[in-house]
Amino acid sequence: MTAPQIFTPREMIEKLISFDTTSYLSNLALVEFVENYLASHGVTSRRVMNDDGTKANLFATLGDETQPGGIVLSGHTDVVPVEGQDWSSDPFRVREADGKLFGRGTSDMKSFIAIALAFVPAFLKGGPKIPVHFALSYDEEVGCLGVRPMIDSIIRTLPRPQIVIVGEPSSMKVVNAHKGIQSYQTTVTGLEFHSSQTHLGVSAIQYAAELISFLMRLAEEMRERGDPSGRFSPPFTTINVGTIRGGTALNIIPRKCSFLWEYRSLPDADPSEIITRFNEFAESNVLPQMRAIFPEARIETVTRAQSPGLAPRDGEPGETLVMKLARCNAAEAVSYNTEAGLFQLADIPTVVCGPGDIAQAHKPDEFISLSQVKECEAFMQRLADHVSGKAI
């Protein structure tokens, strides 16, 4: 048997950042490294693959996986692209400066995974009385897609965990509520004609503009409804149109126009309300105008991503434990979306708590402060003490 591999948290951060796991690439090299690292400590892992075998979730348990009440440390292995961003150094090689570690994924969210992995010897010391599970996913950045089959596997094969800790950057605050996200692509198909004959053509851009105007009216309605809890910033469900493409030339009535849009709903809001009202407006108000001129006109909306919000669950003992580990007196709410809502949808108590600032995520020269690394290390040490039976 090979000697156990030992990494400091800093060394493990450097190692994980060195793997380019941009979402359009494979994450298997990173997964294999983690498998081998865990195996050197006598821990068996299992992969939950994607359909074409190019990516994998990784699940592993320290301790007795048949024991209920385990603690899941969850994080995504993929990162967003660096193309088109002005980086001061190699994004996939950690650079330290001014008390910060720079690199793609340092904040979002490889540092959490790395620190947790570096503490494997501490979790195993003396044999954990409470199992610690690692749940590492793929394709979070493109719609929380990869974690879903792993969650299915967890609920089929394991006793219910006490808590899932999703280590997204929260500045080590405990988050028990976040918004959901729904994103769509709408394509409007009209009829091309010479621009001097506007009465004979059907402008896809014109009618796409009507649909977007309707979305903006819905956005204003959502703003006026507000957030009764007062916890979110901004304190309402938001709607955004991110891109729009259409038309061929100035003197051609455009046949095609498509736009990408999303909404981020409060966790207690009906997640289907906005898309339902949008589709009804398209079918009842816009499409009849188009088909009065061109019967084959179409409005097609396809779903790109859907991920539920995270709703607070008062009195969950797992949340109380995480707040104690994080030395927090109150849980917070955030407006970004995570995989936490999917775990909660499967009836597994879940919170978000991880090092780093979400304000640094997805940016060039992404970084995590060394103080946040140290704070997460202290959290993991308290967790190691807890699972070994020591008072925290």
The 10s digit of each residue's pLDDT in 53-101 is: 999 999 999 999 999 999 999 999 999 999 999 999 999 999 999 999 9
Residue 248 burial by Cβ neighbours in a 10 Å radius (0-12, 13-18, 19+) = exposed
Residue percentage of the chain with pLDDT more than 90:
95
Q: Which residue has the tokens 């188009």?
A: 290
Q: What CA–CA distance (Å, rounded) separates 63 from 123?
A: 9
> Please, what is the average pLDDT of the chain?
96
CA-based torsion, 366, 370, 374, 375: positive or negative: negative
pTM for the full predicted model: 0.91
List, as one string, the DSSP characters of 195-216: TT-TTTSB-HHHHHHHHHHHHH
- Let me know: does 283 contact 220? Beta carbons within 8 Å: no
Taking 70 as the threshold, does the pLDDT of residue 1 lie above it? no
pLDDT in tens, 145-156: 999 999 999 999
Q: How much of the chain exceeds pLDDT 70, in percent?
A: 100
Residues 6 or more apart whose CB falls under 8 angstroms from that of 388 comprise 125, 126, 127, 128, 129
195 pLDDT above the threshold of 80: yes
C-beta of residue 356 within 8 angstroms of C-beta of residue 169: yes
